[in-house]
């Protein structure tokens, strides 16, 4: 990466090579300049080619649009937007990142937004400028317009649009995910920054070299404030970071993890961790249904750049070059995380979903389940209403401690011997027998008159449980929950529906 440079508009112009940050101490402005080599050998031979697309909208960010569309791409295929780093170009990123190979293999279109030296002296996306990174403004709006154009022109599935980026492109990717969660189903941030980490030049440097140690809630609030107010569905996010990166420091990955797990409301405790090639550790954070929502890929010893792994193997892709580092094919693993390989993105490396889950029995307080065995499974996770309630090695499970007359949804996911959780099963619904619990809010006097409480020594106690309720009078008010006939508990903090 190179030193920040001033933002200029509106004329277009090509980007030029940039020197490393340490050689540009006297430069004025700009950010995340990422030196790139010349175009390397392209993707495998195909009639498809990288093509510039014009007329994609008002283009307030003064960007260019390039697209790679495999031959005979069917309607309804996914779409990936891939953002280059500083001093790079759409063609450079197309040639090195591996996305063309994966597009041919799995069948999806790739759009490469391209900025220029007129916008930023080092051809960086202006992730640190509020006027370029907020919803409906500047470069962010231009990128969104490219997604709209591709969906229209190539017949892409609007529900399977994804975005990824390296370095400054990664910083812009995070901002796009925050500003347009209604557009993107998933994102991948490679050597990038948290969403809305900076809106000034000084803050940009802080984010790169010493990212602010905000709480997960503070990071999450930055995303929520950038998104439409009624947002309830969020993109699934992959985070790639080298442990030896001295340009965007490794703590950035932790802050990104905190930000997006908080947005998902799933906490920062990993669901599982696994080892991949290239010294890579993948840490997964599942959503309440057991599907991966956030994954962090930490590449041991890797400096600043995009992880690639040239070769013809099933998990290999990309070409090495300046800031394209031979470790592991990040694009391949990202594509699998998103489900572009046809697995639905529910678990890129786990066992298949258990078949034929069924409810076999219910009582007032229990639900019993069965399902078919999965050959790769060492155990199974059982989820009730999106929360894991048990783990078993058997193909049956009884959920206990439920309230009478209540309805719950269940899914089951297989876990392999390495601890990788597979896709969740189809959901089944069960309702416990008996009458649902009821709540009553009244004064202590009224509770005793109704038989829900009794009086002893001038004090009131809940019937059945004997919980103390205070003085017997008409001024003290409590909510009582009837858990079984004649048995009441104090439920002042909230009564179940």
Residues known to be catalytic? 167
Q: Given the structure tokens 């594509």, which residue do they identify?
A: 335
Rounded distance between C-alpha atoms, residue 319 and residue 49, angstroms: 17
DSSP 197: S
| β pairing state of 438-443 and 453-456 | unpaired
The DSSP code sequence of 58-89 is --TT--EEEEE--TTPPTT--EEEEE--TT--
What pairs with residue 478 in β-bridges? 442
Rounded to 5 degrees, what are φ and ψ at 263?
-60, -40
Rounded (10°) angle between helices 138-154 and 168-179:
80
In this structure, are residues 289 and 152 in contact, taking their beta carbons and an 8 Å threshold? Answer: no
CA angle 119, 121, 125 (to 5 degrees): 50
In this structure, are residues 226 and 182 in contact, taking their beta carbons and an 8 Å threshold? Answer: no
In this structure, are residues 165 and 139 in contact, taking their beta carbons and an 8 Å threshold? Answer: no
- Which whole-number Å values give the CA distances from 466 to 263, 460, 475, 486, 490, in the listed order? 42, 9, 20, 11, 10
In this structure, are residues 166 and 306 in contact, taking their beta carbons and an 8 Å threshold? Answer: yes
End-to-end CA distance of the chain: 55
Alpha helices in 156-215 (DSSP H): 168-179, 201-209
Three-class secondary structure of residue 369 per DSSP: strand
Rounded distance between C-alpha atoms, residue 120 and residue 133, angstroms: 14
Alpha-carbon torsion (464, 467, 468, 473), positive or negative: negative
- The half-sphere exposure of 158 on its side-chain side, counting CA atoms within 13 A, is 12
In this structure, are residues 370 and 396 in contact, taking their beta carbons and an 8 Å threshold? Answer: yes
Rounded distance between C-alpha atoms, residue 257 and residue 328, angstroms: 20
Rounded to 5 degrees, what are φ and ψ at 256?
-60, -45
């Amino acid at each position: 990466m190179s030193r920040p440079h001033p933002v200029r508009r509106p004329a277009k112009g090509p980007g030029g090579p940039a020197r490393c940050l340490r050689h540009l101490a006297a430069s004025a402005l700009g950010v995340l300049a990422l030196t790139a080599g010349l175009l390397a050998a392209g993707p495998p031979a195909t009639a498809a080619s990288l093509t510039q697309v014009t007329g994609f909208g008002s283009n307030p960010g003064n960007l260019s649009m390039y697209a790679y569309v495999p031959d005979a791409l069917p309607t309804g295929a996914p779409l990936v937007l891939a953002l280059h780093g500083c001093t790079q170009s759409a063609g450079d990123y197309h040639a090195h990142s591996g996305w063309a190979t994966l597009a041919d293999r799995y069948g999806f279109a790739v759009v490469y937004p391209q900025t220029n030296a007129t916008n930023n002296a080092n051809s960086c996306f202006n992730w640190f400028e509020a006027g370029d990174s907020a919803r409906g403004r500047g470069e962010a709006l231009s990128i969104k317009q490219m997604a709209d154009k591709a969906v229209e022109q190539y017949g892409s599935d609007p529900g399977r649009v994804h975005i990824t980026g390296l370095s400054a492109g990664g910083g812009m990717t995070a901002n796009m995910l925050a500003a347009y969660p209604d557009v993107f189903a998933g994102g991948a941030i490679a050597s990038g920054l948290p969403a809305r980490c900076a809106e000034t030049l000084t803050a940009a440097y802080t984010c790169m070299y010493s990212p602010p140690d905000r709480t997960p809630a503070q990071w999450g609030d930055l995303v929520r404030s950038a998104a439409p107010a009624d947002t309830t569905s969020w993109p699934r996010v992959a985070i790639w970071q080298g442990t030896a990166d001295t340009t965007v420091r490794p703590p950035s990955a932790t802050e990104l993890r905190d930000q997006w797990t908080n947005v998902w409301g799933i906490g920062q405790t990993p669901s599982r961790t696994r080892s991949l090639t290239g010294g890579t550790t993948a840490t997964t954070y599942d959503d309440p249904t057991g599907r991966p929502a956030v994954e962090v890929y930490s590449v041991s010893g890797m400096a600043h750049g995009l992880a690639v792994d040239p070769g013809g193997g099933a998990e290999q892709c990309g070409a090495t070059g300046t800031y394209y580092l031979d470790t592991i094919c990040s694009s391949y693993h990202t594509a699998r995380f998103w489900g572009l390989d046809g697995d639905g993105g529910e678990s890129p490396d786990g066992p298949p979903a258990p078949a034929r889950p069924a409810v076999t029995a219910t009582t007032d307080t229990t639900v019993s389940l069965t399902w078919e065995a999965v050959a790769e499974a060492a155990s199974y996770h059982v989820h009730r209403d999106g929360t894991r309630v048990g783990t078993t090695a058997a193909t049956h499970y009884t959920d206990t401690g439920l309230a009478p007359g209540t309805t719950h949804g269940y899914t089951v996911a297989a876990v392999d011997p390495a601890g990788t959780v597979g896709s969740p099963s189809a959901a089944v619904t069960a309702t416990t027998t008996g009458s649902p619990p009821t709540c009553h809010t009244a004064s202590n006097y009224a509770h005793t008159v109704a038989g829900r409480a009794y009086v002893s020594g001038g004090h009131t106690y809940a019937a059945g449980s004997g919980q103390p309720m205070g003085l017997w009078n008409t001024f003290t008010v409590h909510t009582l929950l009837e858990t079984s006939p004649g048995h009441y508990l104090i439920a002042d903090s909230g009564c179940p529906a």
